[in-house]
């Protein structure tokens, strides 16, 4: 279909959109393809270097780290999903253990006795897939990135206290305060306070000598009114005047009498001078050792036993790299903040403490504003790589500590790296992180957009982050620095609002974890070709114009005298020459989900939020439509989410079926395996459909197959329907929706749900459970769809309570009746000694079995042999086709090369028999008749020698490709024959997949892209639906009241433009903030012969009468959401009961009942429905005897007996007895009269 683009803004070059942040972060952490000697000290390499070397307590053994390598994965990503395994690669470390001889001389260099180098297995690390997810136990998971406060230096003012807070990456926070007493105070461990100059003295500085670093001083003769900046002493150390004293006439005379001609005084009068004077006076220490003792006492509340102990504690808090680390980010931020030359050390320096104090005084004098903690210059992204680094660092430090402890009690002669590092500590930490960590989440897979958004999600929660209970309003709010970095629209609606956000469309993450956004450089009012990525800190320095607030001349110069710009969160009007940058695109502000909403600029923010969230809940349909009104990002989203298969290079399609596509390229045969009818994490159907035919030539980047929710390479989340906005007999009251039966007949909203059922065969105390067809009590009709092993066949139509997998479980011996003894005597031991524990279909589930997954630990029993044989055949079939294609490609190349050439030696077959004589000219007909596989290919020679070398090249290349293919096949066959890794005690695990075809039904939730959601209330016959004057019935009727109060006018513009586009046969592209204007839409309506208003006359389908007013009618893109009524509907007659209360369980999953609570009891009391109420509180709830008697009475057709005592009364009695109150119920005797 033709595309009509309504965008208006100029394109400023191309930048990468929707970047995959997960894969880059993981590869930076692991550096898998970098040789050991070239690896940077980051990620896993840094974690190893920090944890090693370690020495034993006697310094006889030293264990050093030499490097690591990453092994090959046992299971590919596809195989891991198929077999419920983890797609992981082994990490092996290389270590050197040096043994030293005892040295008798103290302090002498120890002599090396011997050195052992070994490779040590560390752990299996789950490996990231190309899409950015992990496969853990056969399930796709995502590790989401955290948005947290960056390490660095922060100034704040709160409750009359000016503070400078130093936040390290690791270690205790350090703070310097100026309180209302004007004293600089150092704060350790967030609460222990000491005068700053006491700490400065402990660092070895004399406080008075540092005054010049803070304020201006000068030397002068003593004069009244000046303030001393240095203590005045005599030559023999007698103090004549103290630091900070104000000179008076008497003091000046006294100093003159003592021969003091010059004194050092303060040369300025400002707040900082007062702070320095009061701060130095607050220091009561007299020496470095005294200062250390005072600080130690403040921190530990006892005096130190030695001065070394005090020094280790006090100085170690900031200057010991093992206890305190700024990290790369913290060092970068402090270098920037304090204007330092590039420093790389990860600890703070003592001169930096003084510089921070100086900046704090400037801040207290209001020379610059406090830091905004919600500004993105002060918040950074912790990706998967950094999170894994933290996990590995902790685990490897523990591993090193364990090795140190182990070395102290094993024989030194037997010590080896393998012996010392034999611990599962790293494996356990990694497993815990990926399976139970808060940032490792079950991947959202409702549709490709949900998957893409989940991988680009940012959370302020998790380890080291906020909690949703304590997070305030400010941290959740939209901040001006989010522009182009974090989407201001897409966030959850619940208590996580603002804490969980999404990266914007073009945003990237820099090496320090700060989010960058692209801007186009402007020089002297002229827009250049240069696109710069700026982080939030850099953006503060520039004036940035929006792209739609000015016009350009032919030389791309900004016209006019004034331009509106953004600058530090404010809006200014400046001349074009003062503009530094232009916003790259309006899309850069929003996330992909929000950028998919057409006419976003006409919608209220709340409804846009709902629209972007509900698009992620749209169920993939079997017949999706590309919307008539697009935003231009649909193709990018489909490709980035990997929901379409794209060719890696140009070539020719050699083979296509529903499972795979083989592409013949210059580099060889490329296989693209297609996922068909697979279950997603949310039970939706993942199914790919080929979009190419055999023999078709394809370019690099061309779509080979469409996936779920895609069509023609574009994201297609729903269907285009003819919609009318009008009330309809109350059926569309309160957002309800009336739908035409035609929508059902045409399968417009039909989707496939794939349900998974699992059963395990376990080892029990009485013997193993058995998977079998021999099920006690089962009739022949129950077993009709089971194979010889008792597993349901693929293709079987199943209904509630059908057997899916037959299983019997041994049970203990009980007293046998005569009949059972007879049966046992006839049929042997097994006749009654087992019970039926088969897997059956749940209530309310109807569908078709589309898959079975059988995992077995033992590879010898008949079921296991069948499974292995099936896997082997599947692998061989796949590789046979690829081998045939490689041979066909070789033969084609040989025929092209040899055509017209003369043989210089006879052509022989493999038995040595001559096929063609020497001198034979090879024509096309002759070559077509030659079967090259039966020839001695290495003996073919032609007269042209250059052709012979080309012939050798072709044969060598083909032989290498075949060898690689055979190696790959061998590896996969080995995997196929291997027993499966199952949990302890599990012998077999069988999963059955049932597909349900779900059409639209009353109670389903549907939605547009503008937050306009509703529930289907009525499905009307086509003849009852309102119809246009030409007889066309509408598909769906929405209530007009759903528009004005919600303020999402975009849905009306989409409806009428979509109507014009459908009539004129094109798709309209309306990018957000630069789409079609109302005037342009009117012009399109006129072209299509439709009313300019977008309103049409409608007739009532039931009466044929025309409705009074005109109705807005048009084409809207409607989605069916995952909240389907089939998943929610539930009914119960009898079922399971709670053990203690004897009341029915709650919820559909437990096949529970409906709670009849206190307020419902009031309702029945109000009606006076005494018998109904009595039933509700007794036999329908927890009257055990009563309900059994009622069941018996109903079976026998008798009248039920009156209710008995409910079990809840017994629970109350027991609870009161637990409190020491013996409550004894006494039956009231009836008076006999």
- The pLDDT, as a whole number, for residue 498 is 94
Which is more confidently placed, 130 or 766?
130
| Half-sphere exposure for 1164 (CA within 13 Å, toward CB) | 14
Which is more confidently placed, 970 or 1073?
1073
Which of 129-143, 595-609, 848-862 is predicted least confidently? 848-862
Is 102's pLDDT higher than 80?
Answer: no
Residue 1038 backbone phi and psi in degrees, to 5: -105, 155
Whole-Å CA distances, 662 to 82, 315, 639, 657, 1010: 22, 66, 20, 9, 41
CB contact at 8 A, 1138 and 1130:
no
- The pLDDT, as a whole number, for residue 827 is 67
Which of 444-448, 662-666, 1020-1024, 1059-1063 is predicted least confidently? 662-666
- The pLDDT, as a whole number, for residue 832 is 56
Confidence of residue 1233 (pLDDT cuts 50, 70, 90): very low
Model pLDDT for residues 691-708, shown as the tens digit of each residue: 999 999 999 999 999 999
Domains and CATH numbers, the chain: 21-148+382-442 (3.90.1100.10), 151-208+271-374 (3.90.1110.10), 216-269 (3.90.105), 597-636+719-739+1000-1129 (2.40.270.10), 755-853+989-998 (2.40.50.150), 858-915+954-979 (no CATH), 1133-1218 (3.90.1800)
**Average pLDDT of the residues in 1137-1148:** 89
Label the pairing between strands 1027-1028 and 1098-1099.
antiparallel
Quickly count: other Cβ atoms within 10 Å of residue 1213's Cβ: 15
| Residue of 1041, 1016, 1021 lying closest to 1033 (CA atoms) | 1021
Is 1231's pLDDT higher than 70?
Answer: no
**Average pLDDT of the residues in 249-260:** 84
Distance CA 977, CA 1210 (A): 58
- The pLDDT, as a whole number, for residue 211 is 86
Mean pLDDT of the chain: 90
Distance CA 330, CA 340 (A): 13
**Average pLDDT of the residues in 304-333:** 89
| Residue of 223, 219, 239 lying closest to 231 (CA atoms) | 239
Confidence of residue 908 (pLDDT cuts 50, 70, 90): confident
- The pLDDT, as a whole number, for residue 87 is 95
**Average pLDDT of the residues in 1078-1105:** 95
**Average pLDDT of the residues in 492-503:** 94
- The pLDDT, as a whole number, for residue 814 is 62
Which is more confidently placed, 622 or 286?
622
Exposure of 457 by Cβ count < 10 A (0-12 exposed, 13-18 middle, 19+ buried)? buried
Distance CA 853, CA 792 (A): 11
| Helices 1170-1177, 1158-1167: crossing angle, 10 deg rounding | 160
Label the pairing between strands 1066-1069 and 629-630.
parallel
Is 681's pLDDT higher than 70?
Answer: yes
Residue 467 backbone phi and psi in degrees, to 5: -120, 150
CB contact at 8 A, 193 and 254:
no
Strand partners, 763: 768
Is 406's pLDDT higher than 50?
Answer: yes
What is residue 452's three-state secondary structure? helix
Structure token digits, residue 585: 């695109």
Residue 1050 belongs to what H/E stretch? Answer: helix 1050-1064
Q: What percent of the chain is modeled with pLDDT above 70?
A: 98
**Average pLDDT of the residues in 501-521:** 94
Model pLDDT for residues 972-1005, shown as the tens digit of each residue: 888 777 778 888 889 999 999 999 999 999 999 9
Confidence of residue 536 (pLDDT cuts 50, 70, 90): very high
**Residue 646 region by backbone torsions, left for phi larger than 0, else alpha for psi between -120 and 50, else beta:** beta
**Residue 644 region by backbone torsions, left for phi larger than 0, else alpha for psi between -120 and 50, else beta:** beta
Is 339's pLDDT higher than 90?
Answer: no
Exposure of 914 by Cβ count < 10 A (0-12 exposed, 13-18 middle, 19+ buried)? exposed
Which is more confidently placed, 503 or 925?
503
Give the 3-state secondary structure percentages of the chain, helix then strand then coil, rounded to 5.
Answer: 30, 25, 40
Distance CA 143, CA 431 (A): 13
Which is more confidently placed, 1002 or 218?
1002
Is pTM beyond 0.85? Reply is yes
Distance CA 329, CA 1034 (A): 59
- The pLDDT, as a whole number, for residue 107 is 62
Structure token digits, residue 151: 């390490």
| Residue of 885, 1045, 1070, 895 lying closest to 965 (CA atoms) | 885
Is 753's pLDDT higher than 80?
Answer: yes
- The pLDDT, as a whole number, for residue 736 is 96
Exposure of 761 by Cβ count < 10 A (0-12 exposed, 13-18 middle, 19+ buried)? buried
Is 601's pLDDT higher than 80?
Answer: yes
Model pLDDT for residues 1175-1200, shown as the tens digit of each residue: 999 999 999 999 999 989 999 999 98
**Residue 109 region by backbone torsions, left for phi larger than 0, else alpha for psi between -120 and 50, else beta:** beta
- The pLDDT, as a whole number, for residue 1230 is 63
Model pLDDT for residues 355-385, shown as the tens digit of each residue: 999 999 999 988 889 999 999 999 999 999 9
Structure token digits, residue 1230: 């009836």
- The pLDDT, as a whole number, for residue 882 is 78
| Residue of 841, 834, 844, 868 lying closest to 854 (CA atoms) | 868
CB contact at 8 A, 722 and 620:
no
**Average pLDDT of the residues in 703-722:** 96
**Average pLDDT of the residues in 1144-1160:** 91
Whether the CA torsion 311, 215, 364, 153 is positive or negative: it is: negative
Residue the block writes with tokens 């399609």:
653
Whether the CA torsion 721, 726, 728, 730 is positive or negative: it is: positive
Which of 498-512, 753-767, 823-837, 934-948 is predicted least confidently? 823-837
């Amino acid at each position: 279909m033709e595309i009509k683009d309504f965008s208006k803004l100029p394109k400023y070059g191309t930048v990468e959109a929707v970047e995959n942040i997960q894969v880059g972060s993981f590869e930076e952490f692991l550096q898998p393809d970098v040789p050991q000697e070239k690896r940077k000290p980051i990620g896993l390499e840094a974690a190893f270097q920090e944890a090693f070397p370690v020495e034993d307590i006697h310094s006889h053994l030293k264990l050093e780290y030499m490097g690591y390598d990453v092994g090959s994965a046992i299971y590919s990503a596809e195989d891991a999903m198929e077999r419920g395994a983890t797609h992981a690669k082994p990490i092996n470390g290389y270590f050197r253990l040096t043994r030293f001889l005892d040295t008798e001389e103290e302090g002498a260099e120890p002599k090396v006795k011997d050195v052992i180098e070994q490779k040590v297995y560390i752990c299996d690390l789950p490996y990231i897939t190309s899409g950015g997810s992990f496969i853990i136990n056969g399930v796709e998971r995502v590790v989401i990135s955290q948005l947290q406060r960056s390490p660095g230096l922060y100034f704040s003012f709160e409750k009359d206290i000016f503070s400078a807070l130093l936040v390290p990456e690791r270690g205790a926070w350090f703070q310097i305060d100026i309180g209302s007493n004007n004293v600089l105070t150092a704060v350790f461990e967030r609460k222990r306070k000491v005068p700053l100059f006491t700490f400065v003295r402990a660092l070895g500085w004399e406080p008075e000598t540092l005054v010049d670093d803070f304020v201006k001083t000068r030397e002068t003769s003593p004069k009244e009114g000046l303030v001393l900046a240095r203590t005045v002493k005599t030559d023999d150390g007698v103090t004549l005047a103290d630091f900070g004293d104000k000179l008076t006439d008497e003091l000046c005379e006294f100093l003159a009498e003592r021969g003091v001609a010059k004194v050092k005084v303060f040369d300025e009068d400002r707040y900082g001078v007062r702070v320095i004077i009061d701060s130095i006076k607050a220091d009561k220490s007299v020496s470095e050792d005294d200062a250390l003792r005072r600080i130690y006492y403040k921190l530990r509340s006892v005096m130190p036993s030695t001065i070394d102990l005090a020094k280790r504690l006090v100085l170690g808090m900031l200057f010991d790299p093992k206890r305190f680390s700024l990290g790369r980010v913290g060092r970068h931020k402090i270098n920037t903040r304090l204007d330092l030359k590039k420093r790389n050390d990860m600890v703070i320096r003592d001169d930096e403490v003084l510089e921070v104090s100086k900046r704090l005084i400037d801040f207290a004098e209001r020379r610059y504003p406090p830091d905004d903690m919600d500004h993105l210059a002060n918040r950074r992204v912790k990706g998967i790589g950094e999170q894994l680094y933290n996990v590995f660092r902790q685990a490897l430090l523990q591993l090193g500590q364990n090795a140190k402890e182990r070395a102290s009690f094993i024989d030194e002669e037997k010590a080896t790296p393998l012996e010392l590092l034999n611990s599962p500590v790293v494996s356990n930490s990694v497993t815990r992180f990926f399976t139970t960590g808060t940032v490792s989440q079950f991947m959202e897979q409702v549709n490709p957009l949900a998957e893409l958004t989940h991988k680009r999600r940012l959370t302020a929660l998790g380890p080291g982050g906020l909690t949703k209970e304590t997070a305030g309003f400010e941290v959740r709010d939209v901040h001006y620095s989010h522009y182009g970095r974090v989407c201001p629209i897409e966030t959850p609606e619940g208590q996580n609002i603002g804490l969980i956000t999404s990266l914007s469309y073009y945003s990237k993450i820099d090496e320090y974890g700060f989010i960058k956004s692209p801007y186009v450089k402007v020089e002297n009012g002229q827009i250049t070709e240069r696109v710069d990525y700026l982080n939030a800190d850099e953006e503060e320095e520039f004036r940035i114009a929006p792209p739609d607030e000015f016009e350009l001349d032919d030389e791309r110069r900004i016209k006019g005298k004034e331009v509106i710009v953004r600058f530090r969160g404010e809006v200014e009007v400046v001349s074009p020459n003062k503009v530094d940058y232009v916003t790259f695109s309006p899309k850069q502000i929003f996330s992909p989900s929000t950028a998919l909403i057409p006419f976003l600029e006409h919608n209220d923010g709340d409804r846009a939020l709902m629209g972007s969230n509900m698009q992620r809940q749209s169920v993939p349909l079997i017949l999706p439509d590309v919307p008539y009104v697009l935003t231009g990002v649909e193709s990018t989203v489909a490709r980035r989410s990997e929901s379409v298969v794209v060719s890696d290079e140009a070539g020719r399609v050699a083979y296509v079926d529903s499972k795979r596509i083989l592409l013949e390229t210059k580099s060889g045969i490329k296989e693209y395996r297609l996922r068909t009818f697979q279950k997603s994490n949310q039970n939706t159907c993942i199914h790919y459909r080929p979009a190419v035919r055999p023999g078709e030539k394809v370019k690099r980047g061309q779509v080979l197959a469409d996936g779920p929710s895609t069509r023609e390479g574009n994201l297609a989340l729903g269907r285009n329907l003819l919609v009318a906005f009008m009330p309809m007999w109350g059926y569309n009251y309160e957002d309800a929706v009336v739908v035409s039966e035609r929508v059902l007949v045409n399968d417009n909203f039909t989707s496939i749900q794939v349900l998974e059922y699992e059963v395990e065969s376990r080892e029990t105390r009485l013997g193993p459970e058995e998977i079998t067809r021999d099920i006690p009590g089962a009739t022949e009709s129950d077993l009709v769809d089971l194979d010889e092993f008792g597993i349901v066949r693929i293709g079987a139509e199943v209904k509630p309570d059908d057997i899916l997998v037959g299983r019997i479980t041994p049970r203990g011996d009980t007293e046998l009746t005569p009949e059972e003894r007879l049966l046992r005597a006839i049929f042997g031991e097994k006749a009654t000694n087992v019970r039926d524990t088969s897997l059956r279909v749940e209530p309310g589930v109807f569908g078709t079995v589309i898959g079975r997954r059988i995992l077995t630990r033992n590879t010898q029993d008949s079921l296991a042999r069948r499974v292995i044989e099936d896997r082997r055949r599947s692998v061989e079939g796949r590789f046979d086709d690829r081998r045939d294609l490689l041979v066909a490609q070789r033969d084609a190349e040989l025929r092209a090369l040899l055509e017209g050439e003369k043989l210089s030696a006879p052509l022989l077959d493999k038995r040595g028999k001559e096929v063609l004589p020497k001198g034979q000219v090879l024509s096309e007909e002759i070559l077509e008749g030659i079967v090259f596989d039966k020839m001695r290919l290495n003996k073919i020679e032609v007269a042209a020698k250059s052709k012979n070398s080309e012939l050798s090249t072709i044969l060598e290349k083909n032989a290498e490709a075949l060898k690689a293919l055979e190696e790959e096949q061998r590896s996969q066959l080995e995997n196929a024959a291997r027993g499966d890794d199952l949990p302890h005690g599990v012998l077999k695990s069988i999963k059955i997949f049932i597909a349900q075809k779900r059409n639209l039904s009353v109670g389903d939730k549907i939605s547009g892209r503008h937050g306009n959601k509703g529930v289907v209330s009525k499905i009307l016959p086509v003849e009852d639906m309102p119809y246009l004057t030409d007889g066309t019935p509408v598909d769906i009727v929405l209530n007009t009241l759903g528009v004005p109060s919600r303020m999402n006018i975009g849905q009306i513009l989409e409806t009428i433009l979509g109507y014009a586009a459908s009539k004129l046969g094109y798709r309209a592209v309306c990018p957000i903030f630069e789409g079609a204007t109302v005037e342009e839409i009117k012009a399109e309506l006129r072209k299509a012969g439709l009313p300019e208003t977008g309103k049409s006359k409608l007739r009532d389908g039931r009466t044929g009468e025309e409705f009074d007013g005109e109705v807005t009618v048009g084409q809207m893109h409607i989605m069916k959401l995952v909240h389907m009524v089939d998943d929610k509907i539930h009914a119960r007659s009898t079922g399971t009961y709670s053990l203690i209360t004897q009341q029915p369980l709650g919820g559909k999953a437990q096949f529970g009942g409906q709670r009849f609570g206190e307020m419902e009891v009031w309702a029945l009391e109000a009606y006076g429905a005494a018998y109904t109420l009595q039933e509700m509180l007794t036999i329908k709830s927890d009257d055990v005897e009563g309900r059994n008697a009622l069941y018996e009475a109903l079976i026998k057709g008798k009248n039920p007996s009156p209710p008995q005592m409910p079990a809840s009364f017994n629970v109350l009695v027991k609870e009161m007895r637990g409190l020491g109150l013996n409550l004894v119920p006494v039956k009231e005797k009836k008076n006999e009269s």
